[in-house]
Amino acid sequence: MSAEKKTLLITGGSRGIGAAICRQANRAGYRVAVNYVSNQAAADVLVAELKAAGGDAFAVKGDVGNEADVIAMFEAVDRVFGQLDAFVNNAGIVDLKARVDEMSAERLERMMRINVVGSFLCAREAVKRVSTRHGGKGGAIVNISSAAARLGSPGEYVDYAASKGAIDTLTIGLAREVALEGIRVNAVSPGIIETEIHASGGQPDRVTRMQDMLPMKRAGTADEVASAVLYLLSDAASYITGAILNVSGGR
């Protein structure tokens, strides 16, 4: 799955699944642009790690829920690397556990702005650079969805689940839209994965609490998700587009 000298931008790349994707992409030979929204220290540490391993990487700040930030982020990749070959729509949020009848409009608007509108804006900018229609050389996009899109997350995060349902639809529609423009678009749909996202949703014990209910009796790892992403980005997946690959341990 060598991708020597290809360029990859990953949103939300400084921690969790995003950081695991960055590390595996670095080992595969990609030049890696690591997007972060606020934790510059974590992004800088990761970039230093990638460079120490012989890679070419840089960190770029940007809030995917802000159109000006999205445009500036992609323009930074243009300046530093001169091209874009692959893109991973990874950045996203989850809010505190709540029922739908407890959710405010502010919460819902923030969720959809970052997880849905942000993903669309980033996909738009990626297509403008990668599509043969726009003078690009073709490439691949992978969106990070969630098993929540299928399961609904009742009593916890129905808004998050709905936002990931939109990512599944984006994946299918965009894949068909750009299939003749040299771009493959797929999604990875993780289940319960050991990352910081559970703590940010106010449930740091969620993995421990749920693992006995999982078919494999364990949570997945960020590296297991990253491996699926790298496969879909690679030439080994050359006839795969519009697919949603479950990485959920059978859940």
Contacting residues for 13 by C-beta, under 8 A, at least 6 apart: 19, 21, 22, 32, 33, 34, 35, 36, 43, 46, 88, 90
Q: Residue 24: CB partners within 8 Å, gap ≥ 6?
A: 223, 226, 227, 229, 230
| Cβ proximity of 141 and 188 under 8 Å | no
What pTM was estimated for this model as a whole?
A: 0.94
Contacts of 110 (CB under 8 A, 6+ apart): 65, 93, 95
Alpha carbon distance 97, 100 (integer Å): 10
Query: How is the chain split into domains, by residue range?
Result: 7-247
* pLDDT value of residue 58: 98
Full pLDDT tens readout for the chain, 251 residues: 557 789 999 999 999 999 999 999 999 999 999 999 999 999 999 999 999 999 999 999 999 999 999 999 999 999 999 999 999 999 999 999 999 999 999 999 999 999 999 999 999 999 999 999 999 999 999 999 999 999 999 999 999 999 999 999 999 999 999 999 999 999 999 999 987 654 555 556 767 777 788 888 888 999 999 999 999 999 999 999 999 999 999 98
The answer to whether 15 and 42 have CB atoms below 8 angstroms apart is yes
What whole-number distance in Å separates Cα of residue 121 and Cα of residue 74?
11
pLDDT at 216: 84
The pLDDT value given to residue 251: 84
Residue 7: what residue type?
Answer: T
Phi, psi torsion values for 50, nearest 5 degrees: -65, -40
- Supply the pLDDT for residue 2: 58
Confirm or reject CATH 3.10.450.710 for domain 7-247, answering yes or no: no
Dihedral, CA of residue 244, residue 231, residue 114 and residue 197, to nearest 10: 100
Q: Give me the pLDDT at residue 238, please.
A: 98
| Residues involved in catalysis | 160
Half-sphere exposure of 38 (CA within 13 A, CB side): 0
CA-nearest of 17, 47, 66, 75 to 197 is 17
